[in-house]
Structure 1
Amino acid sequence: MSRMLYGANVVANAVRLHYLRYGGKGAPLVLIPGITSPAITWGFVSEKLAEYFDVYVLDVRGRGLSSSGDHLKYDTETCAQDILAFVQQLDLQDYFLVGHSMGARFAIRCAATKPQGLKKIVLIDPPVSGPNRRAYPSQLPWYVDSIKQSIVGMNAEEMKQYCPTWTLEQRQLRAEWLHTCYLPAIVKAFNDFHEVDIHQYIPEVSVPTLLMVAGKGGVILEEDIQEIQSLNPQIFVSRVAQAGHMIPWDDEQGFYQGFGTFLGQQIV
């Protein structure tokens, strides 16, 4: 039986933000997906997390059923303000922010503003690229080509060239929803990976923070971990050794184990 309660929309930071709510019991947990992951693609993770938390999975602007179009801005600062406004509109108290990839960068920016009510953050393999830094391993054409193909229409078999290790169900869902990723929003987010140095905000994060690193992702290396912990010695680190950047898709159990007891209980 699914733990999804409903999908809904809220006006936050002057845009419509769509979200899915799972569980409804426990501490509020806001899940911020990555660059081309509408909220629904994190459903399998949300079902598990909902056993322990009141889960809100966000469609970041320019993705899924949230506001989109060329009249909007898609930069890191604006998207972080969306998240803070979303939490405020829903009046969430003592909440967790859990962000993957791009979403983890947004979580860092949010936490640096020291918002009232934020309890802890979990950063799942955030890109550590930036000005004068090593480039993000993924290439922009991988995103652009797959989105353009999805706009025309694509199936799970065609998605295999982009996500060869994913299950049929995962590829079907991505093929169904990828067209909702507004291409200019994706390009802006990808460019921000290289033009915005997220490290500048790390020393300002004062809430307990867990950095979850993919052992095979190539996104975060040991020297990156050392730099991050030098900027903020309070950051805990866990590693999911057998996973690539899309950690729960590669090693779902390892992903849950990576939380340890950081959020107050073991996810099993």
Structure 2
Amino acid sequence: MSSFLHGYHVRANGVRLHLLRYGGQGPRLLLLPGITSPAVTWGFVAERLVRQYDVHVLDFRGRGLSFSSPGMDADLDTMATDVLDLMDVLGWSSVLLLGHSMGARVAIRAAARDPRRIDKLLLIDPPMSGPGRRAYPVPLSWYVESIRLAIKGVTAEELRPYAPAWKEEHLQLRAEWLHTCSEEAIVQAHAGFHEDDIHADLPKLRTPGLLMTAGQGGVLLPEDLAEIEVLAPDLQQCTVSAAGHMIPWDDEENFYRLLGEYLQVDFL
């Protein structure tokens, strides 16, 4: 039986933001997805997290059912402001932030700017590329080509070359929802992976947290983890050794196990 409660919209930072709510019990957890992951694609994770948390999953601007318009700002600073203003509008005095990939970068920027209301920071394989650093390993063309296919109408099988290890159900959801991802927003976010210095935010973090990395993802390397340990010593590190960048898609049980061990709760 699904724990999904409802979707809802909030006007924050001057735009309409859409969220999905699951469970409704326990401490509040806001889940921030990655660059081309509308909120609905994280529903299978939200269904598990509700065993302990009141889970809200955000559609970032330019994705899913949130505001999208040509010429809009969709950079890291803007998305971090969306999150903080969203919390203001909803009157949230505290929250756990769980961010994956781009969403983890947004979580870092938001927590660096306003640590008071963020109880814990759960970072899942954030890109640590930036000015003067090696490039993010997934080229922009990978995203743009698949979005253009989805706009025309695409099947799960036609998307399989872009994510060959994914289960059929996840490919089907991506085929259904990828067209809602604004190419312009994705171009801005991907450029930000290389232009925004997320490392400058790390020493500003005052929130305890977890940094979970993918052993097979190529997004974070051992030298990155060593640098992060110095810059943000309050981030406990762990690795899902057999998973690629989309950790819950590749090794769902170890994702829940390691997350649960850090939070001292049981998701299994």
- Taking structure 2 as the reference length, the TM-score comes to 0.98
What's 1:218 paired with?
Answer: 218
What's 1:50 paired with?
Answer: 50
What's 1:101 paired with?
Answer: 101
What's 2:32 paired with?
Answer: 32
What's 2:142 paired with?
Answer: 142
Quick check: 1:93–1:117 contact (8 Å CA) kept in 2?
yes
Gap runs ≥5 in structure 2: none
Structure with greater helix percent: 2
Spell out the pairing of 1:164-183 with structure 2 (5 A cutoff): 164-183=164-183
Quick check: 2:115–2:206 contact (8 Å CA) kept in 1?
no
Distance in 2 of aligned mates of 1:122 and 1:115: 13
Quick check: 1:28–1:93 contact (8 Å CA) kept in 2?
no
Q: CA deviation at 1:114?
A: 2.4
Asked if 1:133 is matched to 2:133, the reply is yes
Distance in 1 of aligned mates of 2:230 and 2:266: 28
Quick check: 1:17–1:61 contact (8 Å CA) kept in 2?
yes
User: What amino acid does structure 1 have at the position aligned with 2:222?
Assistant: E
Distance in 2 of aligned mates of 1:260 and 1:174: 27
Question: Secondary structure in 1 aligned to 2:105?
Answer: helix
Aligned-pair identity (%): 54
Distance in 2 of aligned mates of 1:190 and 1:39: 19
User: What amino acid does structure 1 have at the position aligned with 2:82?
Assistant: D
User: What amino acid does structure 2 have at the position aligned with 1:221?
Assistant: L
In structure 2, relative to structure 1, the CA distance for the partners of 1:211 and 1:33 (3 Å cut) is same
Distance in 2 of aligned mates of 1:33 and 1:110: 14
Spell out the pairing of 1:231-242 with structure 2 (5 A cutoff): 231-242=231-242
Quick check: 2:219–2:245 contact (8 Å CA) kept in 1?
yes
Q: CA deviation at 1:93?
A: 3.0
Number of residues paired by the alignment?
Answer: 268
- Taking structure 1 as the reference length, the TM-score comes to 0.98
In structure 2, relative to structure 1, the CA distance for the partners of 1:259 and 1:104 (3 Å cut) is same
Q: CA deviation at 1:264?
A: 4.1
Question: Secondary structure in 2 aligned to 1:96?
Answer: strand
What's 1:255 paired with?
Answer: 255
What's 1:201 paired with?
Answer: 201
User: What amino acid does structure 1 have at the position aligned with 2:139?
Assistant: Q
Distance in 2 of aligned mates of 1:233 and 1:148: 41
Gap runs ≥5 in structure 1: none
Quick check: 2:96–2:120 contact (8 Å CA) kept in 1?
yes
Quick check: 2:156–2:171 contact (8 Å CA) kept in 1?
yes
Question: Secondary structure in 2 aligned to 1:267?
Answer: coil
Q: CA deviation at 1:102?
A: 0.2
Q: CA deviation at 1:260?
A: 3.6
Quick check: 1:238–1:259 contact (8 Å CA) kept in 2?
no
Distance in 1 of aligned mates of 2:66 and 2:216: 32
